[in-house]
Each structure stands twice: as structure tokens, then as C-alpha cells.
Amino acid sequence: MTATRDRLFLLRPDWIDQDRPWFCMACAAVEGFLGYYPKVRDALDIVYLPYERPRHPMVGLLGEAHQNLPTLVLAEPFEHPDLREDDLQRAGDLWFATNEGPITRVLAARYGVSPPHP
């Protein structure tokens, strides 16, 4: 299956661990970026996943070793001079970014919005 849009996987807020609710700081940072740039949000397929593993949509795409959230899976390969060498990783034929820094740099470059300040 070939995706036609980039897919962003985020943790749902208020997931339970150690008998209390939590949110993911990295996911919240990406949500903040998307709040600044609604046109980027509108261009993505966003999937909210539960905290528990295995996270089946991600395991099916990237393999058991790549279940970290947030994760951005690109619909097609992408290169840009503003990206750092380690911003994108590869699993099979798919390119992806994980954590808020790489994800926001990739999204900014890919969709033509302001990048995060170094």
C-alpha cells in the first residue's frame, strides 16, 4: 500500500500509566507546531494511538523496533538542505522521523513554513 499523504502518529492525551493520567511532551510540542500552521495539519493524516504496546499500525509499517511516538511517516522520500543528517530514518522503503525536533524540521521544510530556531 502506498500512502498518498504523510502520516503523523501521536499519543492520545490522558493515557494511563502507574494508575494516573499523563500526556506526552514531545507529542504536545508537535501539536503546538500544528496549531501554528493549520495548513500543515490539514495536509497530514493524523493517527492518535494508545500508550500500550504493541502499537499495531506502526509495527505494520516500520517494524517492532520503531514504535516511538510521535512519529512522522513520509508518503515519499524527501530531501532538503535544512534537514540534519539524522532527521530521517528508514525502515524498508519508508522514510520516517521521530521526536519533536526532527518532525518539526521535516514538516517545516516539506510544507514551506518557518523552521524551529536552532
Residue 117 placed within a domain: no
The domain in which residue 30 lies consists of 7-14+21-111
| Region 20-25 average pLDDT | 97
Q: Is the pLDDT of residue 2 over 60?
A: no
Count of domains in the chain? 1
Q: Is residue 76 part of a domain?
A: yes
What is the C-alpha to C-alpha distance for residues 7 and 5, in angstroms, rounded to an integer?
6
Per-residue confidence band for 3, with pLDDT thresholds at 50, 70 and 90 = low
Assess if residue 58 is contained within a domain: yes
